Structure 1
């Protein structure tokens, strides 16, 4: 998978809008069409939440819709943007499993600002959690694509982790032709068939550069994909710039996130982007 420069601006193929829900197709810097949706929240002048789903997710998946619904009900949230990463759902292209997906998030954040939101918070789950960290940790921000707070849930700290059975299955799906075929047929996820070239900056090396943007790291003590050394490594690399929540009984990403946790996440953002 070839990496791309992270210093150019995004484009959108939809006009600006101000009020009401909307479905749109966004165009990334490298020309991939991204399926996106906007839903207004309960606070007219509030901040926008941009939700970055996990691997094999999509904006139409029940867990993503549920998270977006809950976020939109929290005081301070003015709107919620959901989108499907490349290679997922109705979006074009093929998944690069966290590399070029930074460009997809760029397009979604810029769209949220076109909706009239002066403040935007990115919330990512699993693969999406790694993307929001790398996106916010870039040394050069794209015009209109910066975020005002970052929340990463169930993110890996480093690449190529195979220490758990679920992650060994994920790597099989990504690296083997049969795995990619199965992912496309059963999960609707189209995965790129080339290796990263160059290897993108891992999340643990990106988080020190997120400062002074507020950063929340959330991880479950029952996460079957990434054990606790991942969030602990991220928190150590971020230093006192990050807040870390280790959630008792929580498993992995949006599919396992309880409503109470999702509400607390949105309330944390509301307290930091008033």
Structure 2
């Protein structure tokens, strides 16, 4: 899985703010076709006039083996749409998108294309919300696409160039995200590594989970999430994690929060499991409120 120099992305050719849901196909900087869905904010006009609903869009990045049409993703989008416009998409190798999953590496290009689409639709403020693998992607994206000139800066083997303003997020939310790569400390993560690294595992991923996985190793290794967390400020960062997460124990969110310092808020959710499947309506509502208020 090859890391990339992450910077410029083409915008999708779409009209400004659309009156209803819109499904389209985006093309990433490396040429992968990504399915995406735009949903306008469902708040009434009076509420929108009193808030930033009319200018904010939330871009949702799903977890590994998810897709734009999975029930948990659609549920999250429905809650978020009560507060802001929402863009959901399927990462490469997932759902109806092309390419193969690199399990968090080149997926940052998919997110950047979705963020640029949100700005092309007329939204001035973008908040990225990522779950599990998507959480690691929004952290890297937040670190590498700042809208500031950082040409030539080296970060974890990735050379950051000055990116277009359209590609950056104004706030970042990482839910159930790992702090470090190659973690195998829990049984679910050992099973996931078997799926990703073994030929028979990738067959299971393709036909059992509808996820097409790249066979190549990362080269170079992408910027680790814990390092990315320290590079996101001054953009606000929210880290959300369940105390019953079977994949990543609580040292992961605490490492992320420590790395971010004063630039992050940490929510440890009692009784919550892992990622979008475990995020109930109450939590999604609080995340949506945080997104439009920051």
Same fold, judged at TM 0.5 (above): yes
Q: Tell me how large the CA RMSD over aligned residues is.
A: 1.1
CA displacement at 1:145 relative to structure 2: 0.7
How far 1:16 sits from its partner (Å)? 3.1
Q: Distance in 2 between matches of 1:17 and 1:25?
A: 16
User: Counterparts of 2:191 and 2:170 in 1: how far apart (Å)?
Assistant: 35
Shift of 1:247: 0.4
Q: Report what 1:166 is aligned to.
A: 188
Query: How far apart, in 2, do the equivalents of 1:45 and 1:135 lie?
Result: 24
SS of corresponding position for 1:73: coil
The 1-side partners of 2:231 and 2:282 are apart by 30
1:228 aligns with 2:250: yes
Matched, 1:192 2:214: yes
Q: Name the CA distance, whole Å, in 1 between partners of 2:11 and 2:56.
A: 20
- Say whether residues 1:22 and 2:22 are aligned partners: yes
TM-score of the two chains, using structure 2 as the length reference: 0.89
Deviation at 1:10, TM superposition (A): 1.3
Partner of 1:72: 81
- Alignment of 1:109 with 2:108, yes or no, is no
**Partner Cα separation in structure 2 for residue 209 and residue 165 of structure 1:** 31
Between the aligned partners of 1:147 and 1:33, the Cα distance in structure 2 is: 21
Q: Is the 8 A contact 1:14 1:24 kept in 2?
A: no
Q: Does 1:40 align with 2:30?
A: no
Note the 1:94-173 alignment, pairs <5 A: 94-138=100-144, 140=161, 142-143=163-164, 144-173=166-195
CA contact (8 A) 1:11 1:26 kept: no
Query: C-alpha separation between the residues in 2 aligned to 1:248 and 1:101?
Result: 30
CA deviation map 1:194-226 (0-9, x unaligned)? 000000010001111101000000000000000
Partner of 2:157: none
Tell me the CA shift for residue 141 of structure 1: 5.4
Identify the residue that residue 84 of structure 1 maps to in structure 2.
90
| SS of structure 2 residue aligned to 1:171 | helix
Aligned counterparts of 1:45 and 1:239: Cα–Cα separation in 2? 31
Contact 2:128 2:173 in 1 (8 A): yes
**How does the TM-score come out when normalised to structure 1?**
0.96
* Structure 1 portions without partners, runs of 5+: none
Question: What is the CA–CA distance in structure 1 between the aligned matches of 2:128 and 2:118, rounded to whole Å?
Answer: 11
Structure 1 residue runs of 4 or more that deviate by more than 6 Å after TM superposition:
none
Query: 2:67 and 2:232 mapped to 1: Cα distance?
Result: 26
CA distance in 1, matches of 2:196, 2:57: 32
